Each structure stands twice: as C-alpha cells, then as structure tokens.
Structure 1
C-alpha cells in the first residue's frame, strides 16, 4: 500500500523515491511485522488461554515436557497475520509472486488451522491422507502456475538448476510440476516435524528465510544474477519484502516462543511457513539448495523415516531412542535449551555453506 501511495509522489517530492527500493521496503516490512507481533502477542496469548486452546503433550515423550501441557497453541496465527499485514503495507501489490506466496500462506495455514482445531475439539486432527491431499492440491496449483503460466519463467521454467554445477541444467518437462509439489509439501511437513521444542523450528525458519531473502533479491536483480551466473527471474526481487516480513514476524513470535515457551506455533504456523519456504525456493530456481539451507528440517524428517522403516524391518526395534531427532538427544540427557541452540548453530553453518555455493561452481 505504501509503495502505491507514496512512490508516485516522488516525481514532485524526491524524499518519496526511497519507496522504489526493495531494500528499504524489505527492512521496514521486517520492522513492522516485528513490532506488530510484539504488540499483539500478549493479546493473542490471553485470547488463546481464555478459549482454552492448549497444547496436548504426548505421554510417551520426554517427562520434562509434561509441564508444557495446556500452553496456548496455534500461535502461528499471530505470525501469519503480522507478516501478511506488513507485506500488504510495504510490498508492490502488482507483483504476481507476492500474491502467489499469500495464496500458499493462506492455503496451508487453513489446512493447519483445521488440523489444530479438530485436535483441540475432538482429540484427533485431520487424517494423514486428508491432510496430504489438500497439501498436494495447493502445491499442484502453484506448480502448474510456475511451470506453464508464469511469463517471467518462460524458456527456462522446467529447467532444474543444480548447486556446484554452472552449466548442468536438465530440462524436467512436465515432471517439474511433480518436483515442485515434493519441495513444497515436503518442506511444509519437515518444518512441522521439527516444531517439537521451544523455539526449535522458528529459529531455523528465520535463518533459512534470511538466506532466501538474499537469494531472491539477487535472482531478481539483473546485474547481480548475471555476475553470479545464476538464472535471472524478473520480479523475484520483490519477494524479499515478504520474506523480510516473515523474518520480522518470526522474531516477534520467538520472543514468546523462546524457552520456556508462552505459546506454541501449532500446525497452522509450521505447515504455512514451511510451504512458503519451499515456494520461495521454487520461484528462485534454487530448489535443490533448500536441502542444504533447510538441512535441519531435512535431518528431522529423515530421522522419522529411518525410525519408522527400522521399526517395521526389525519387528519393533528402534534406531533412535525417539524420533524426531531432537527427542533422541533429550533422551540422551541433553537439556532442552542445549538441543535448541545447537540445532540453531548447525542451521547457521548450513546457511553460510549454502551462500558459498553461489561462487563454488
């Protein structure tokens, strides 16, 4: 809104020329989302407590988690509301990618909201099959748009760009839609699995989103993309405003979600934020790099897959003491804050390695 309101005035008042710059609007979108989150956070916590929207703790989990029972959940609504509001205030609303990401945020947020609501009211959320169906449906719509209807990607829409390789860009054809669905749905569920300790998921989300904020800005800048020899995607730079808003909202949420948490994110937040991250990776043509950027989420998801497969193969034995992986370390005697901070450290290292791939090709 501010872009459309103030930038036209720059022809008469040069001070308003700052609204043309993505970097300026990105910074203030992040600050706006952060302030909104800090202001509305206590109100949301009180409202969730009044509505008795409390977390139910697994009885087979670490005993230290029993005290978390009843902590307000569905705090992801706060993140979604504040980053969407900040985006609407600061972004160029004629940009297709901004609306595509808003569609993903709302679509996956609704899936998570229904799942959380059913868990609270009936003790059981959406079935795995039902949840997966709706996730695939939303992701397929994104995949079809990006592959066949996005004018900015014509000519290279189905090419897969591989980290560390400068000229290896295989054309996947129609299979690229399948890849997009796997990336978006996989990232969404991987973030959801990681959201098991206070601040554990939101920390790597902030780190990964910051990394992709830099990547989409470079991707949408013709000279920077050319210098680094990565695929230029017209209009992608504007996504930095939205991702900066997510970073700001996530930092505000972390204020209340840090150990010991005053509220949890719930599926409404984790599914939505994960799907957004996957979609941003698709738009930036950096899908494979997400394996490294979001390495924490990948490891957590793999730990669950390994645990289930090993349990079935051995007839009841466990590979890890408990899955996802963060619970395994808790069972080894690590205190919760130590697990969280060490996972954050790993996420930072993976983000730095990811950015280095821009030149290591």
Structure 2
C-alpha cells in the first residue's frame, strides 16, 4: 500500500519528490518490510502475551515427553499469530500487490496458519496435547497445495520442470499431472517439518530466520533475469517481488525470537510452525528451487527423518507378544534425543543453529557448483 502511494502515485504519476524513486527497488522495500515486521512483533509481543495469559491459552505438554518440559506447561501458545501479523503487514505495506506470486505466498501463509490455529484451539479447548486429527490436518494442507498449484499453472505461466542442484543442464519436466503431486509433497513436507522442529525454546524460529534470509537472496537473484541466467537459475521476474515477503518473514522471525528465546515467554504453536513451513515451501516452488530446499532446510529435514526412522524401526522390530519395539534414538525428533543424553536446551538450540547456517552456506554454494 505504501509502495503504491509513494512510488506509483507520488513518484511516477505526480513526480512530487525525485528521491521517492528509491521505493521502486524491491531490495530497498525488502529492508523496509523486514524492519516493519520486526518492529510490529516487538511492539505487539508483550500485549499479545498478556492477552493470551488472560485467556489462559497455555501450552499442553505430553506426558510421555521429556519430563523437564512439564515446567513449561501453561506457557502462552498461538504466538504464531504475531509472526503472521508481522509478515502480512510488512508485505502489504511494501510489496507490489499487483504481483500474482505475492498473493500466492500470502495465501500459503494464511491457509496453513488457519489449519494450525484450529489445531491449537482444539488442544486448548480439550486441555490436552491432541488437536486436529491428522487426516483433517492433511486434508487442509493438500487442499491448499492443490489450490496454489492450480493458480500457478493455470494463471501464472508457470513451468513444470525441476531445477536440480549441482546439475547445469539436467531439468526434467514433470508435466502438470506429475508436478501437482510433487508440489503437494514439497509444501506439506515443509509445513510438517517445521512443526516437528518446534520443540525447544527458540529452535524453530532461529533456524527459520536463517532459511528466510537465504530465500530472500534466492528470490532476488531469481527475479533478475541476467543474474539468474549467469548463475544457471530459472529466471522469474515475478519472483523478484517475493523478496519483500521473504524479508518480512526474516524480520518477523527476528522479532518473535525476542520473546521465544530461552526461557520462552510464548510458543508459536501450530499456527506459527505450519504457516512458516507452508509458506517457505511455496516460496521454493515459485522460484523453482524445490529440491534445493532439502539442502537449505537441512535441520528441518534431519528432524523429520529422525521421526520417520524412529517410527519405522519401532514398527519393524515390534515384538508380537509384548507389542514393544526397539528405538534408534532415545526419543524423536532428534532434539529430544540430545536432551535425554544430557545436553542443555540452550546448547542444542545454538548447535542446531550453527548446523542450519552451514546448510544455508552449502545451498548458496550450489549456485556456482553447477
């Protein structure tokens, strides 16, 4: 909205003030979006936490989990609403709202956030760590992905080939019929991966900040056709404006981390984790870096794989008589395994953050290793 007023109206139409042309640069508006989202989270954080306490919207902790986490029971949850507010505000104020991709990623954020909100609300209403049933949650995620896929392929002049990291000329075309299920897998997988990682104070949001910053850079270089071609990336001028959205995501993550840092004053809840994961998957799709997201989101992938391996191995080794199987880890996701081995929560968070920064550097290195 401010972009339209300051650039489209005052600069282009009425030529009121020459320096207003700076608002025509997505890079500058991305910085403003990041600062706007950060400030909104910082300013609204304390009042929202107090409001959630009054409503008694506290986190329920599963009994079979890490016992030390029982002390966190009752900590305000659904703080993801704060993150979403910062992202939406930063995007609406500083992005070019005539850009289709901007609305697509906003829809991914809000749709997944709505699914998570319902899940969180049911947990609070029932006073137990059981919210929306898995099949209904999956149905919502699948529906969201199909809507986005239909819009991109039907109206966005969207290509259905894949950009494969480390390979310059290998770009297999899946066609619309195969790409839609693949898109569904990317968005649903990304959404659930962030959700699984959100188990320690500051873990999910700090790693999200790193991924969001990297996605901001990827959107920028993808949107500049000459630079994208130089780096052998699929050029997409529409993706340039998504830089503003990703910067807002990074800014909101930074602002929320102020309150979510150990010991957390508020949890993001599923409304935050599902929304963040869903929109990051969507961003990777619009810039044609779906496979690179596996490298970029390395910590999220590892956390998810630890759960898959744990559950699979437990079922394969289950004793028919006792119904008890063996475990690879002391507990999954992986961060709980390290807790049970004696690592302090803050040490796990910082070390996982270091690992995530490393994965982001590897992802950026692939831009030249093709």
TM-score if structure 2 supplies the norm length? Answer: 0.95
Summarize deviations over 1:112-136 as a string: whole Å, max 9, x none: 0000000110233111111101110
Counterpart Cα distance in 2 of 1:13 and 1:250: 34
1:60 Cα offset (Å): 1.7
Counterpart Cα distance in 2 of 1:150 and 1:352: 30
Alignment partner, residue 322 of structure 2: none
Summarize deviations over 1:210-245 as a string: whole Å, max 9, x none: 111100111111121122121111210100111111
Residue 98 (structure 1) aligned with residue 102 (structure 2): yes
1:146 Cα offset (Å): 2.1
1:273 Cα offset (Å): 0.4
Counterpart selection for 2:185 from 182, 186, 198: 182
Residues 147 and 177 of structure 1 are in contact (CA less than 8 Å); yes or no, is this contact kept in structure 2? no
Counterpart selection for 2:173 from 171, 174, 178: 171
Counterpart selection for 1:146 from 143, 146, 152: 152
1:66 Cα offset (Å): 1.4
Residue 208 (structure 1) aligned with residue 203 (structure 2): no
Residue 108 (structure 1) aligned with residue 112 (structure 2): yes
Alignment partner, residue 338 of structure 1: 347
Alignment partner, residue 161 of structure 2: 159
Counterpart Cα distance in 1 of 2:3 and 2:79: 29
Alignment partner, residue 9 of structure 1: 10
Counterpart Cα distance in 1 of 2:233 and 2:199: 36
Summarize deviations over 1:121-180 as a string: whole Å, max 9, x none: 0233111111101110001111222233213x3xxx111110000000011112011111
Residues 214 and 240 of structure 1 are in contact (CA less than 8 Å); yes or no, is this contact kept in structure 2? yes
Residues 143 and 178 of structure 1 are in contact (CA less than 8 Å); yes or no, is this contact kept in structure 2? no
Alignment partner, residue 47 of structure 1: 51
Counterpart Cα distance in 1 of 2:150 and 2:178: 11
Corresponding residue SS for 2:203: coil
Counterpart Cα distance in 1 of 2:298 and 2:327: 23
Counterpart Cα distance in 2 of 1:177 and 1:204: 28
Counterpart Cα distance in 2 of 1:33 and 1:43: 16
Residue 198 (structure 1) aligned with residue 207 (structure 2): no
Summarize deviations over 1:328-352 as a string: whole Å, max 9, x none: 0001100000000000000000000
1:61 Cα offset (Å): 1.7
Corresponding residue SS for 2:87: helix
1:63 Cα offset (Å): 2.0
Alignment partner, residue 83 of structure 1: 87
Alignment partner, residue 360 of structure 1: 369
Counterpart Cα distance in 2 of 1:83 and 1:158: 28
How many residues are matched? Answer: 357
- Consecutive aligned runs of 4 or more in structure 1 exceeding 6 Å deviation: none
Residues 112 and 267 of structure 1 are in contact (CA less than 8 Å); yes or no, is this contact kept in structure 2? yes
Counterpart selection for 1:305 from 287, 305, 308: 308
Alignment partner, residue 249 of structure 2: 246
Alignment partner, residue 121 of structure 1: 125
Alignment partner, residue 223 of structure 2: 220
TM-score if structure 1 supplies the norm length? Answer: 0.97
Corresponding residue SS for 1:201: helix
Counterpart Cα distance in 1 of 2:234 and 2:112: 28
Residue 65 (structure 1) aligned with residue 43 (structure 2): no
Counterpart Cα distance in 1 of 2:244 and 2:34: 8
Counterpart Cα distance in 2 of 1:138 and 1:207: 25
Alignment partner, residue 324 of structure 1: 333
